[in-house]
A and B are shown apart, each in its own frame.
Chain A
Amino acid sequence: MDQYTLNLLIVGASFALYVGIAIWARAGSTAEFYAANRGVNPVMNGMATAADWMSAASFISMAGLIAGVGYGNSTYLMGWTGGYVLLALLLAPYLRKFGKYTVPQFIGDRFYSQTARLVAVVCLIIISVTYVIGQMTGAGVAFSRFLEVEVSTGLWIAAAVVFVYAVLGGMKGITYTQVAQYLVLIIAYSIPAIFISLNLTGNPLPWLGLFSTHTESSMPLLQKLDQVVTDLGFTAYTAQGDMLNMFLFTLSLMIGTAGLPHVIIRFFTVPKVADARWSAGWALIFIALLYLTAPAVGAMARLNIIDTIFPSGPQEQAVLYDERPDWMRTWETTGLLKFEDKNGDGRIQYYNDKAAGFAETAAQRGWQGNELDINNDILVLANPEIAQLPGWVIGLIAAGGLAAALSTAAGLLLAISSAISHDLIKDYLKPDISEKGELMAARIAMAGAILVATLLGLNPPGFAAQTVALAFGLAAASIFPVLMMGIFSKRINSLGATAGMLVGLISTCVYLFTYLGWFFVPGTNTLENIPANHLFGIAPASFGPIGALLNFATAYIVSMVTQAPPQHVQDLVESIRVPRGAGSATHH
């Protein structure tokens, strides 16, 4: 059987599983549609949250980013896990006690204001739609690569699959399909990592393999890696990074995590307040299974790639282009891996031609520029091929990458549809809508969101990483501060919260658009995106915490000079602070 048929079979089988579960778990009432009737236990909920959380960015992209830079990109590892501590300690138990379905509902009730609620709906839709565009684009690329179709065709296939299980199944369908997706993606990620770790270090656990001895050279793996990359003019893998931006970027990802509506909504679905705390812990354990493996995948893949290109070590001759391995040929057809024989010797010289200190060595060796361009995003997908693992592992990693992208897209779509049908239509525009009508509105909203995301995904507004950074920065700057203040302060009033959200949202948008283009249209940026232009050296992706700080400060000052919230709101805050009395969800 050829690789194409095998990919098709494995990806097809995994999809049949998800769709089967969605149909089996078809939602009946609105309560089931939104929150699975709060019958999901913490371990299952943790697993589903993990699948929801780990998108194409975590699965496909992150290890490649770490491989390319080394220590400096540890920010992704800390940033995308540390937010769960904030969720468990500062938000999840209180929002579960509050006992409603959506984030804007909490903001509307706590700040006793339809305006605050509408601003929250706007923030939620902007955050979720930008995020889902990235996921649909990622899923489309993965489909097109493994099914060997056009990118646009891959995108429409992705849209159809998401539509079937998200629209028909609602939350319950999503919860159980996401448990299945988690299992597929974690198995797909771990198997190649285990084989590669065994090959390089003899240790079957990649987490430990990273800090073990490299069998071939009898040196610690990371020292060996530092040595080979510096031999080629790259910065050492374990070298120090830019502290200010590492600090702010990590903080942006952490606060952003705790402010993402599709993650927060997960904690509305557990039976008890105590379970909301446990759920965050379980989610992080399941996430950590991938995140502890990712740095090993990155480091080992970097070593394997250099070893492939310089079979006798970086001091010796590079491999002949005609003798390159098959995986390079495969990926060359996608355009994500490129070779250009600049010095005409028929060999692939891969080194850092931007390092001034290395130019002399390169000249002595007769090199006239780096000849190999590898896109970081292919690293995880190509990993089994680089390590020469069997064909079914290659098919499995395709299924895993798609599971990661699709499950996140589905969770985001649920957050968008409930904000529109519940917060906008049911509670604002048309309060007398029937339960059946509301369910229909939720499904139409979901289908509409899929359509918009797919159409925008055909011509994405920028690189996926920029789009995702905007979603995190916006969540950090708009949603997280008001949720936290709503619980921990009785003094913050409607005017303060509304002003805070607007200041956080607008300041972050303006900072990002200034450097990355207005509404992400290329070429419309006011200033060139280079460190010299950045305010106090803060990169656009790191701006989230500054927006959050402005949000906090505005809300505090405005609240202090205006009237305190009414007594019933202060009583509400008192009541969400204690677990007792948390019944099942109240509809209104």
Chain B
Amino acid sequence: MSDKSSSNAYWAANIRIITICLIIWAIVSYGFGILLRPLLSGIPVGGTDLGFWFAQQGSIIVFIALIFYYATYMNRLDREHGVDEQ
């Protein structure tokens, strides 16, 4: 295992990316899909509004993108900090 400061920097970077991903996760589902839907009602999508699309499909697509982005990002971060599995 690498030294203490590098390991702290690795964990701080991980916490930062998790926070960013979870903010996006919350905005697309709880935000656009539920609480902010009235604000988005002016944007039409296939016979209804953007909030409806986010609630029924959009949020799921964003969830998948978030997980794959996080996995790719962390693989790079693991190597940069020398903590990847050899």
A285 interface hit (Cβ, 8 Å): yes
CA distance A221 to B67 in the complex (A): 32
CA distance A210 to B68 in the complex (A): 26
Measured CB to CB, the closest approach of chain B to A471, in angstroms, equals: 21
A-B contact pairs, 24 of them (CB 8 A): A74-B55, A77-B59, A81-B59, A81-B63, A88-B67, A89-B21, A90-B18, A210-B46, A211-B48, A238-B49, A238-B52, A247-B35, A250-B29, A274-B74, A274-B75, A277-B74, A281-B68, A292-B60, A295-B57, A577-B14, A578-B78, A579-B78, A579-B85, A581-B85
- Chain A CB within 10 Å, residue with most, of B14, B49, B56, B63: B56
B1 interface hit (Cβ, 8 Å): yes
CA distance A210 to B25 in the complex (A): 24
Judged by DSSP, the binding face of B is: helix
**Contact string, A297-334, partner B, CB cutoff 8 A, digits 1/0?**
00000000000000000000000000000000000000
B47 touches A222 (CB 8 A): yes
A71 interface hit (Cβ, 8 Å): yes
CA distance A490 to B60 in the complex (A): 33
A284 touches B67 (CB 8 A): yes
A74 and B56 contact, Cβ closer than 8 Å, known pairs A82-B29, A211-B46, A581-B1 = yes
Q: Which residue of A lies closest to B22 (CB)?
A: A89
Instruction: Report which A residues bind B (CB closer than 8 A).
Output: 71, 74, 77-78, 81-82, 84-85, 88-90, 93, 207, 210-212, 219-224, 238, 240-241, 243, 246-247, 250-251, 272-274, 277-278, 280-281, 284-285, 288, 291-292, 295, 574-575, 577-582
**Contact string, B54-86, partner A, CB cutoff 8 A, digits 1/0?**
011101110110111011001100100111111
Measured CB to CB, the closest approach of chain A to B36, in angstroms, equals: 10
Q: What residues of chain B lie closer than 8 Å to A292, measured between beta carbons?
A: 57, 60-61
CA distance A240 to B64 in the complex (A): 26
CA distance A278 to B47 in the complex (A): 35
CA distance A243 to B70 in the complex (A): 30
Q: What residues of chain B lie closer than 8 Å to A93, measured between beta carbons?
A: 74
B11 touches A288 (CB 8 A): no
Q: Which residue of B lies closest to A299 (CB)?
A: B56
Interface Cβ pair total, 8 Å cutoff: 140
Q: Please pick, from A74, A223, A238, A284, the residue contacting B64 in the complex, using a CB distance under 8 A.
A: A284
A247 touches B1 (CB 8 A): no
A281 and B57 contact, Cβ closer than 8 Å, known pairs A221-B47, A581-B1 = no
Q: What are the 4 tightest A-B residue pairs by CB atom distance, in nearest-first order? A: A220-B47, A211-B46, A74-B55, A277-B71
Q: Which residue of A lies closest to B49 (CB)?
A: A238
A580 touches B52 (CB 8 A): no
A85 and B60 contact, Cβ closer than 8 Å, known pairs A222-B46, A575-B1 = no
A578 touches B70 (CB 8 A): no
B60 touches A274 (CB 8 A): no
- Chain A CB within 10 Å, residue with most, of B55, B59, B66: B55
Given contacts A85-B21, A89-B21, 4 further A-B contacts (CB under 8 A): A222-B47, A280-B67, A291-B60, A580-B83
CA distance A207 to B34 in the complex (A): 20
A211 and B33 contact, Cβ closer than 8 Å, known pairs A81-B60, A285-B64, A292-B60 = no
Measured CB to CB, the closest approach of chain A to B33, in angstroms, equals: 6
A577 touches B84 (CB 8 A): no
Q: What residues of chain A lie closer than 8 Å to B83, measured between beta carbons?
A: 578-580
Measured CB to CB, the closest approach of chain A to B75, in angstroms, equals: 6
A71 touches B52 (CB 8 A): yes
Measured CB to CB, the closest approach of chain A to B15, in angstroms, equals: 8
Q: Which residue of B lies closest to A89 (CB)?
A: B18
B34 touches A85 (CB 8 A): no
A78 touches B60 (CB 8 A): yes
A578 touches B60 (CB 8 A): no
B85 touches A207 (CB 8 A): no
Q: What residues of chain B lie closer than 8 Å to A77, measured between beta carbons?
A: 55-57, 59-60
B85 touches A274 (CB 8 A): yes
Q: What residues of chain B lie closer than 8 Å to A211, measured between beta carbons?
A: 45-48, 53
Q: Which residue of B lies closest to A578 (CB)?
A: B83
Q: What residues of chain B lie closer than 8 Å to A574, measured between beta carbons?
A: 7
Q: Which residue of A lies closest to B35 (CB)?
A: A243
Q: Please pick, from B10, B34, B82, B86, the residue contacting A246 in the complex, using a CB distance under 8 A.
A: B34
CA distance A15 to B48 in the complex (A): 42
Q: What residues of chain A lie closer than 8 Å to B70, measured between beta carbons?
A: 88-89, 277
Q: Which residue of B lies closest to A93 (CB)?
A: B74
B29 touches A78 (CB 8 A): yes
Measured CB to CB, the closest approach of chain A to B30, in angstroms, equals: 6
Q: What residues of chain B lie closer than 8 Å to A78, measured between beta carbons?
A: 29, 33, 55, 59-60
Q: Which residue of B lies closest to A278 (CB)?
A: B71
B33 touches A74 (CB 8 A): yes
CA distance A212 to B53 in the complex (A): 13
B38 interface hit (Cβ, 8 Å): yes
A580 touches B56 (CB 8 A): no
CA distance A272 to B71 in the complex (A): 13
